[in-house]
Structure 1
Amino acid sequence: MNLLYRYKVHHILFWIAYAFFWITFSMKMNHMPLGNAILSISFWIMGQGACVYLGMYWIVPRYFHPRNYWKFALAIMLDILVCTSFIAGIHFTIFTRIPHSFFSYVLMANTYAAFGAIAVKIIKDKVVADRRNNQAEKHQMQHELRFLRAQMNPHFLFNAINSIYVLIRKDPETAAQTLAKFSDMMRYQLYECNTEVIPIEKEIAYLNDYIALEKLRKGNAVQINYEVKESVKDFSIAPLLLIAFVENAFKYLSTGPENYIHILLEQQNNTFAFRIENSKDEMPAQQEAGGIGQINVKRRLELLYPHQHKLKIYDSPKKYIVLLSIQLA
């Protein structure tokens, strides 16, 4: 089929069928001899084909697409008039019984044919251009998502390796257990997060490992309230969306005597909701409690869930709250 369209074979088949119809029509309705009918329709097709193809493949790309509409209109009218004059002139020269209204008839027929063909060409070009633009936007979005995910991994690695390093000095046995959890987390990132979506159960397991690692590192220095409602199951989301907010909570956790992180995951009415709150120390006005991981996840949400998510962040002097809701398909 691609080969057929590439070499315009369907155009040839159309003109053959078109010629056969009008030759038969001329013989039966106008009582023309076969030779005269073939000669008449041959010149007709030559003139009308030139009119149509000049409009489609020369005038439209040269004047319509660059939006030179006045030149486009003049070129189309000139194209129709010249081709009509060719057809009518040949017929008036060769055939004797041609009515004077024949020119008007040819002009009307060429006008319909030219504008019909040009309309089809313009619509087809628009569809092709839109498809090409959509593909380009999709590829660009995929490249950007891969880039954002690649940026997220080094950020996680730095935090996790630093946690294990601290544990090695404090408790080698616990560090070994933590390293096993870290291995599971790396396996998840490297081999299971290469798909567009992933079961929420796997994302929760990843969060469990990360929070367990941070608990081991911080001990009793932080009160962690982590709850996953039973309703959070049997759906998929984009991987590594939540971890950036959890990392951010531990990174900017307060250093006073009462430090806390509250995490809640729930699902209601086909909406997944994530809430995290952490205590924090006061920061200079120009500094915000967020890093590159959180900036990246905001961009990923815009790309992956346009008009399907709500993200609200409340940054007060003593606490930091993130509310994320995603409308599930």
Structure 2
Amino acid sequence: MFTIKKADYLFWTFMFLMTLLQLSDDLSFWGAFIYSITITLTLRVYVVYVVNRLANRYLKIDNSTKFVIYASITSVFIALFLTLQGYVIIRLILSERMGTMNEMVSLFFGMLMLSILISGVSYSIELFKQNVESEKRHQELKNNVLESEIEHLKTQLSPHFTFNILNNLHFLIRKDKEEALELLSRYSKILRYYVYESQNKWIKLDDEISFLKHYFQLEKDRSGEDLQISCQWNIPENQLMIIPFLLSTFVENAFKHVSAFTDKTNYINLNVFFKNENQLIMEIKNSTDTVLNSTKKQGVGLKYVQKRLDFSYLNNYKLDIMSQENKYSVQLQLNLNK
């Protein structure tokens, strides 16, 4: 992976080679080599201990003007230092010809332009790094807030779900005791599933589908005879994972807001299938009383389902919700992983 640290190494290697190439025309190879290393190391120290500190200081207070002023002043000093440094190394230590006064002045201005360029590049890099870190902190904060909301959602769903079960059980006991006992066993499995699986961040898709089938059947048994209900399941065996209680949110919403017309057909149609090896499709449609349901309070589950999808399946899902007159439909396309 190409990182900023690697880019930094490549930049200073490039600086050394370019300096060596420029100096090799006027100096011997070893003279140009030693002077190039000295220039590169000096500029590196200057960037780390001067430019970067100036950049960090004035980026925090968002004052680029002061950075430009101080960086320009320090660039003059570092250019002068590099020129004198070259004179000492080449003339006094290596005993090579350094050049005339005019060449020394040209060298000074060359070093000045180089130090100003490096200061600008370093400032840009620090600005980029701070923006990346700021975006990362912002994303982490968003994720933490969303996780808190999801945990809050679970605490709301638990009593809400239990209340629905007790309501259903009361209705079924009055209908048929034997049927009630059988359904009580099914309720027990659902409750056990809810208690244990709600603590997991990811669960097996097969377990979630099994839970959804039980939940759908119970809602179907509780519903009146005037409600036409159909469901289709085409889920082959798989090793895919999913976040818990995502699909049941839409089923609960359909049964909660289904119409109660006496002169029209009331219906709920559910279809769950695979489009390819890992793309799950869920389609659910129900009749609805547009006027009546516009005054109903939306359930807490549906309120957060979009956020849960964004958090766990960003760029890996498509959710289409359509509300028309006397008709409500949901289609969810979900790309799952093992």
Tell me whether 157-166 or 80-89 shows the greater mean CA deviation.
80-89
1:140 corresponds, among 145, 148, 151, to: 145
Opposite residue 229 of structure 2, the aligned amino acid is I
Which residue of 1 is the match for residue 109 of structure 2? 104
SS of corresponding position for 1:239: coil
Deviation at 1:310, TM superposition (A): 2.5
Which residue of 1 is the match for residue 272 of structure 2? 265
Deviation at 1:226, TM superposition (A): 1.7
* Structure 1 unmatched ranges of 5 or more: 6-10, 32-36
Which residue of 1 is the match for residue 329 of structure 2? 322
Counterpart contact for 1:52–1:118, Cα < 8 Å: no
Alpha-carbon distance in 2 for matches of 1:114, 1:255: 73
Aligned length: 305
Cα distance 1:154–1:314, how it changes in 2: closer, same or farther (>3 A)?
same
Counterpart contact for 2:51–2:71, Cα < 8 Å: no
Equivalent positions of 1:1-329 (< 5 A) are: 29-30=30-31, 48=43, 51-64=46-59, 66-88=61-83, 99=99, 100=101, 101=104, 102-111=107-116, 113-115=118-120, 117-218=122-223, 220=225, 222-229=227-234, 235-256=240-261, 259-269=266-276, 271-281=279-289, 283-284=291-292, 286-288=294-296, 290-307=298-315, 308-316=317-325, 319-328=326-335
Deviation at 1:190, TM superposition (A): 2.6
Counterpart contact for 1:84–1:106, Cα < 8 Å: yes
Counterpart contact for 2:249–2:301, Cα < 8 Å: yes
Opposite residue 85 of structure 1, the aligned amino acid is L
Counterpart contact for 1:56–1:121, Cα < 8 Å: no
**TM-score normalized by structure 1?**
0.71
Alpha-carbon distance in 2 for matches of 1:218, 1:57: 69
Opposite residue 80 of structure 2, the aligned amino acid is S
Deviation at 1:122, TM superposition (A): 4.0
Counterpart contact for 1:63–1:71, Cα < 8 Å: yes
Cα distance 1:132–1:249, how it changes in 2: closer, same or farther (>3 A)?
closer
Opposite residue 262 of structure 1, the aligned amino acid is N
Deviation at 1:210, TM superposition (A): 1.3
SS of corresponding position for 1:283: helix
* Structure 2 unmatched ranges of 5 or more: none
Which residue of 2 is the match for residue 34 of structure 1? none
> How large is the RMSD of aligned CA atoms in angstroms?
4.3
Alpha-carbon distance in 1 for matches of 2:41, 2:29: 22
Cα distance 1:197–1:71, how it changes in 2: closer, same or farther (>3 A)?
same
Deviation at 1:206, TM superposition (A): 0.9
SS of corresponding position for 1:147: helix
